[in-house]
């Protein structure tokens, strides 16, 4: 039966209320066809005093790295030298994000990422080493530690003599963070917990002095007396039962990092070492990973700039067929792609960091998008740089083969990109009001399950109605030169909001939607390019804020990567990709793809 006009109006009102609140993030609103421009415009910049401090710190690190951090030697020796670890301490690197009251510099996320971009552009091993200490190490203590815990632990983490690690991953718990098997059972006197289990692939794990460890604690209910929930613990290697099975695993890339495997056997951990509320360890883990994923954006941006510079310089000096490589259009195509996506990486990274610094509560979708976008496109940029360099890039006396090995782990670490794409699509779609609450509980519970998706969405005509009168959202750019791009983005956002209910309905059978991960991938790809395009438009509007002189934009500074042409080219590519994926939602080869896979799996 058709809904009345009053019912339609009421549903529309409910939708507007659902996404209008300040606690709803920018990316989630996109799934309704809404553009919360006030969250992205104007483009975020640091206050003058903080900008000077952050740039000065980055400059100190850059100078030190160029003189003292030998990336090729670190890769060859599979170790960051002790003198480099000490040198970073002299530069206050370990103090960056620790609050000033505990002896740190108290950098906010935007300030910190200025330094991380430098490390990412110089050596990925050092970048990951520092990130493990800060973004997923100290950060857990800063965000969730009690004042007593912070006063006890943080002052000892300032000078590099004591390092942090974050121990989540296990043989059965990779991207499936909720599948932690390490157990923590309370002692009879209630004063401690006994931990048993194995952790693997832990950066700094075998050399850290303080580790945040995730383990399952009892959480019995009437229906499930054996139920457990994940709790975070602060652990030190001097605890009896703590064993380093492997301190430095041999790896393909980021070889300088110490990637450890640990075992806990009847390890007694005082109750005072519980970090955050009991049973809320997964919230600790996912929150900390949001910070780590933002750092991925900065490190990848730095790495992309270095690869782009190498690509351009080689293309200019290398002559083939009596022409510099730079004059060939297929080489220029690679340079343009790299420039455009490096510009976009930096824009999206800055916005995510600003969300954190402004105290927003809902940015998990944005950080997941940033991680996927930055890591996938960095991989392409490095691959293209190798192609431009040709055979020379393949040899170990040049850095490009190392860049390739270092960059590959980015698509896997801190949430594999395939999983994060499903996360983006599923969490974004749960914005269809309370229909998806059951699914949200699964995702936030760490189960990453799609089982309830069909039932949660409630596939039916009523799902379409709240969006039926949605107009094209306004994208509030000030530069007249950007009005057309802003209008195009607004139309694509509206189409996104209107398209999703039809996708749900066209699948008809709820079970089919539950398993339609190829559809989820397209939805995520659309959301990623729409979100990043929004960040790019904000940055372009900021850069073009000064009026043009004589038909040429006034350069605000000499940064070659702050290039308006690159940003505008990104928008053209992104809009084309979005349209292609919209079309693929209706016209694709999914049945043939799945049939081919299943036929091969049946034979091999």
Give catalytic residues, as residue numbers: 414
Q: Are 339 and 308 in contact (CB under 8 A)?
A: yes
According to DSSP H, which parts of 31-183 are helical? 48-68, 71-77, 82-90, 109-122, 124-133, 139-144, 147-153
Q: For residue 523, report the phi and psi dihedrals to the nearest 5 degrees.
A: -60, -45
Q: Are 234 and 214 in contact (CB under 8 A)?
A: no
* Upper half-sphere CA count for residue 370 (Cβ side, 13 Å): 33
Residue with tokens 């940003």: 567
Q: For residue 414, report the phi and psi dihedrals to the nearest 5 degrees.
A: 55, 45
Distance CA 464, CA 460 (A): 8
Q: Are 123 and 129 in contact (CB under 8 A)?
A: no
Q: Are 173 and 416 in contact (CB under 8 A)?
A: no
Please write down the long-range contacts of 491-494, taking CB distance under 8 Å and 24 or more positions apart. Answer: 492/530, 492/575, 492/578, 492/579, 493/30, 493/33, 493/34, 493/35, 493/530, 494/33, 494/470
Neighbours of 434 (CB within 10 A): 12
Distance CA 216, CA 224 (A): 15
Q: Annotate 197-221 with b (16+ C-beta within 10 A) or e (fewer).
A: bbbbbbbbbbbbbbbbbbbbbbeee
Structural tokens at position 552: 């040429």
Q: 443 vs 388, 419, 438, 589, CA distance in Å?
A: 42, 11, 9, 29
Q: Indicate the Cα dihedral angle 351, 354, 360, 365, nearest 10°.
A: 30
Bond preceding residue 161 cis, omega within 30 of 0: no
Closest CA to 378 of 253, 211, 229, 249: 253
Q: 604 vs 82, 412, 599, CA distance in Å?
A: 48, 26, 9
């Amino acid at each position: 039966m058709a809904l009345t006009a009053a019912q339609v109006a009421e549903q529309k009102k409910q939708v507007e209320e659902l996404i209008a609140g300040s606690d709803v993030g920018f990316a989630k609103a996109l799934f309704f066809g809404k553009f919360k421009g006030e969250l992205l415009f104007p483009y975020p910049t640091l206050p003058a005093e903080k900008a000077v401090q952050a740039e000065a710190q980055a400059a100190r690190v850059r100078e030190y790295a160029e003189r003292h951090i030998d990336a090729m030697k670190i890769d060859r020796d599979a170790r960051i030298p002790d003198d480099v670890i000490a040198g970073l301490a002299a530069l206050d690197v370990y103090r960056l994000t620790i609050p000033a009251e505990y002896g740190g510099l108290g950098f906010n996320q935007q300030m910190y990422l200025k330094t991380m971009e430098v490390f990412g552009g110089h050596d990925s091993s050092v970048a990951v080493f520092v990130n493990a200490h800060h973004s997923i190490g100290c950060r857990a203590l800063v965000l969730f530690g009690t004042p007593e815990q912070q006063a006890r632990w943080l002052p000892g983490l300032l000078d590099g003599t004591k390092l942090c690690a974050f121990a989540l991953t296990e043989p059965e718990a990779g991207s499936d963070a909720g599948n932690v098997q390490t157990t923590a059972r309370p002692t009879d006197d209630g004063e401690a917990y006994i931990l048993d289990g194995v952790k693997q692939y832990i950066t700094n794990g075998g050399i850290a002095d303080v580790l945040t460890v995730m383990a399952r604690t009892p959480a019995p209910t009437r229906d499930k007396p054996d139920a457990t929930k994940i709790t975070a613990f602060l652990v030190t290697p001097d605890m009896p039962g703590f064993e380093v099975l492997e301190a430095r695993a041999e790896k393909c890339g980021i070889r300088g990092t110490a990637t450890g495997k640990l075992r806990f056997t009847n390890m007694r951990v005082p109750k005072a070492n519980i970090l955050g509320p009991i049973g809320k360890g997964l919230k600790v883990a996912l929150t900390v990973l949001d910070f780590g994923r933002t750092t991925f954006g900065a490190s990848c941006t730095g790495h992309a700039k270095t690869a782009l510079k190498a690509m351009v310089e080689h293309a200019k000096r290398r002559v083939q067929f009596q022409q510099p490589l730079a004059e060939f259009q297929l080489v220029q195509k690679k340079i343009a792609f790299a420039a455009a996506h490096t510009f976009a990486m930096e824009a999206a990274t800055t916005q995510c960091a600003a969300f954190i610094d402004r105290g927003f509560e809902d940015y998990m979708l944005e950080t997941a998008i940033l991680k996927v976008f930055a890591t996938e496109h960095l991989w392409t940029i490095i691959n293209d740089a190798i192609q431009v360099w040709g055979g020379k890039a393949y040899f170990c006396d040049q850095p490009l083969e190392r860049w390739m090995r270092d960059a590959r782990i980015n698509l896997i670490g801190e949430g594999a990109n395939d999983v994060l794409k499903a996360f983006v699509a599923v969490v974004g779609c749960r914005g269809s009001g309370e229909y998806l609450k059951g699914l949200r509980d699964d995702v936030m519970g760490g189960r990453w399950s799609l089982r309830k998706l069909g039932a949660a969405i409630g596939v039916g005509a009523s799902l379409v109605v709240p969006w039926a009168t949605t107009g094209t959202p306004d994208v509030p750019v000030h530069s007249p030169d950007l009005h057309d791009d802003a209008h195009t983005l607004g139309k694509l956002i509206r189409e996104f909001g209107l398209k999703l209910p039809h996708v749900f309905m066209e699948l008809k059978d709820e079970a089919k939607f539950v398993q339609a991960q190829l559809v989820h991938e397209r939805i995520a790809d659309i959301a990623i390019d729409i979100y990043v395009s929004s960040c790019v438009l904000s940055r372009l509007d900021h850069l073009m804020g000064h009026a043009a002189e004589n038909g040429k934009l006034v350069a605000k500074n000499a940064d070659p990567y702050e290039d308006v042409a690159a940003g505008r080219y990104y928008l053209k590519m992104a809009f084309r990709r979005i349209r292609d994926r919209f079309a693929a939602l209706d016209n694709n080869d999914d049945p043939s793809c799945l049939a081919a896979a299943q036929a091969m799996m049946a034979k091999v």
